[in-house]
A = this chain, B = another copy of it.
């Protein structure tokens, strides 16, 4: 091998069959990215989550026709030993993020390690938005240049836009100027001009072009959604969504920050991943609408502080450690070309402002969509994502906070948790007498009891929100979250890791094993819901109130949450169920509003500056408030509006 060249080996992934030659020393996870194979991973390749298990099918050293236990991979690491026992080791199991390639290998990716194509629940909500776009189109017919009229082409256009539409002090984007002479002549001096903020010409098209398009983008930690809108009517022409391609670098915000800090080109990789992703999304949306990607002349973007920084190619390390200062709070207008976005090159991308901590542009999007600052009633807005964001207040005052719910509600850190993909249990009920479970699975019509092939694979967020209230109401766990003992059901059993409850038996699954909720899963859900509740409670104390008048549940899966389950789980203090609303992806709605109404952009900066951020971790009694909130529904607080449900439970248990 010539010096300076790295040896490459042949790697095949099964069952997809994807294959290619990979540099010696790359991990199987890196190889999977290169070959387009999606393998789960929550910890950002730290070897701490164990979700990227794969099985080596071929690639063992052979000697005299006998396979050795030594494979064409680096030896098992300490990190791997936590997840892979000797029995599994004999079967060839490895963590893809740890095993390095040292020879040709065939790798099998088991069902549970595959990332399913997520069902993205980010459909656009019907809203009435006053259409007042930032980019407007103007059609003009120019007088031809003559020897007596020596005006430059730009001055000619400028004069016409002034006399016809009263536009003054216009400038022209430099790349647009480059082709101006050719464009004005192509259709006999008739052109349609796109003007940004009535200030700058960002596009020139020959002839009359009536339609203008903009794209509102919501960059979630897990999901990216794009709403292609008609800038004249305000209508959503098409909605497209995709997994955030950064997911392969870490499932949550903190693991992506860690990936940035521990990989030399970490920021570059993640920035390029999201930019490529948005370009793909824009391309798909454009194709749906039968336009070109370059016809998109405006874009707005929301995302939490970390997504915001990664999208902008700003190192997020400083927002990852105290005192968490972001690079910028204010909104930004950046040329699409400076961001690498392949929409109309002169277009500006408007990035909504961020608040503080991880309360980012996505929450500002929620704010301008819900406008609590125009309400009299005291509202609590909960945006459930990988990070929980809370807003409390009304027109008098607004405060916000973020709490580390962890990814439990997104299906991570739960033994059989998964994303909202086909096979996910999205809704479940436990019979209070028989303790039998019935559930619904994404991709199947009706309840499991009515189906022949259920093929459940795991439990997604809305199912996870159901499970604790159901276990509690059926008397399977007590109010501290502990499993009860000696219940007359085979579903509750004790393993070496403690008790667990069987949601469904292996025969109804596609993974060939029972899907269970373990004691640890219960704890993780309690931690998530406790953090949310504690945050809400501390905020109420800040405002000196003890009663919520209205609760708004937002989030990519917000509209699918059973609001009674959410109330019973006590994601938030007591509130009349009549006044609880699930609004879906309010952050995406906010991006859409900012796209369609220029005034709302000023409003966004205004409210982002005015809202007061509460840092929960500096509250002296936070731990106490938090631990009390982990009880079901709470250690001390009462829930007058849930009395009928809880009383019913008390009866059954009694």
Contact = CB atoms under 8 A, between A and B. Distances in A.
Interface of A: 145-147, 149-156, 172, 174-175, 177-178, 180-182, 312-315, 318, 322-330, 332, 334-335, 338-339, 354, 356-357, 613, 615, 618
A330 B175 CA distance: 16
Contacts of A328: 152-155, 172, 177, 180
Nearest to A172: B328
Contacts of A312: 174, 177-178
Contacts of A313: 178
A326 B356 contact: no
Given A146-B323, A322-B147, A181 B314 contact: yes
A116 B180 CA distance: 39
B181 A318 contact: yes
B315 A182 contact: yes
A154 B314 CA distance: 13
A539 to B, nearest CB: 16
Given A177-B312, A181-B314, A325 B615 contact: no
Contacts of A149: 323
Contacts of A154: 327-330
Nearest to A156: B325
Nearest to A617: B147
A327 B153 contact: yes
Given A147-B615, A182-B315, 15 more contacts: A147-B322, A147-B618, A150-B613, A151-B329, A152-B327, A154-B327, A174-B332, A175-B338, A177-B327, A177-B332, A178-B314, A181-B314, A181-B315, A181-B318, A181-B325
A155 B323 contact: no
B155 A329 contact: yes
Contact of A325 (B145, B314, B334): B145
Question: Closest 7 A-B residue pairs measured CB to CB?
Answer: A145-B325, A154-B328, A152-B329, A147-B323, A150-B356, A152-B326, A174-B334
A150 B327 contact: no
Contacts of A175: 338
A180 B314 CA distance: 9
How many copies the complex holds: the figure is 2
Contacts of A151: 325, 329
Contacts of A354: 152
Main secondary structure of the interface of A (DSSP, over half): mixed
A318 to B, nearest CB: 5
26 contacts: A145-B325, A146-B323, A147-B615, A150-B325, A150-B357, A150-B613, A152-B327, A153-B325, A153-B326, A153-B328, A154-B329, A155-B329, A172-B328, A174-B312, A174-B332, A174-B338, A175-B338, A177-B312, A177-B314, A177-B328, A178-B312, A178-B313, A180-B328, A181-B315, A181-B327, A182-B315
Contacts of A172: 328
Contacts of A335: 174
A174 B177 CA distance: 22
A178 B322 CA distance: 20
B357 A324 contact: no
Contacts of A150: 323-325, 356-357, 613, 615
Contacts of A146: 323
A622 to B, nearest CB: 13
Scoring A177, A312, A328 by chain B CB atoms within 10 A of each residue's CB, the highest score goes to A328
Contacts of A156: 325
Contacts of A181: 314-315, 318, 325, 327
Contacts of A318: 153, 181
Contacts of A174: 312, 332, 334-335, 338-339
Contacts of A145: 323, 325
Nearest to A146: B323
A356 B339 CA distance: 37
A338 B338 CA distance: 9
Nearest to A324: B150
A356 B153 CA distance: 12
Contacts of A322: 147
A132 to B, nearest CB: 22
A146 B325 CA distance: 8
A323 B318 CA distance: 58
Contacts of A314: 177-178, 181
Nearest to A182: B315
Most chain B CB within a 10 A radius of its CB, from A150, A322, A325, A339:
A325
A172 B338 CA distance: 14
Nearest to A158: B330
A64 to B, nearest CB: 47
A314 B172 CA distance: 14
Contacts of A182: 315
A51 to B, nearest CB: 32
A322 B613 CA distance: 64
B615 A327 contact: no
A506 to B, nearest CB: 50
Contacts of A180: 327-328
A178 B356 CA distance: 18
Contacts of A338: 174-175
A152 to B, nearest CB: 4
- Identify which of A153, A174, A618 gathers the most chain B CB atoms within 10 Å of its CB: A174
A339 B178 CA distance: 11
A334 to B, nearest CB: 5
Contacts of A326: 152-153
Contacts of A323: 145-147, 149-150
A145 B615 CA distance: 14
Residue picked from A152, A154, A323, most chain B C-beta under 10 Å: A152
A335 B334 CA distance: 13
Contacts of A178: 312-314, 327
A410 B154 CA distance: 33
A335 B156 CA distance: 24
Nearest to A338: B174
B147 A330 contact: no
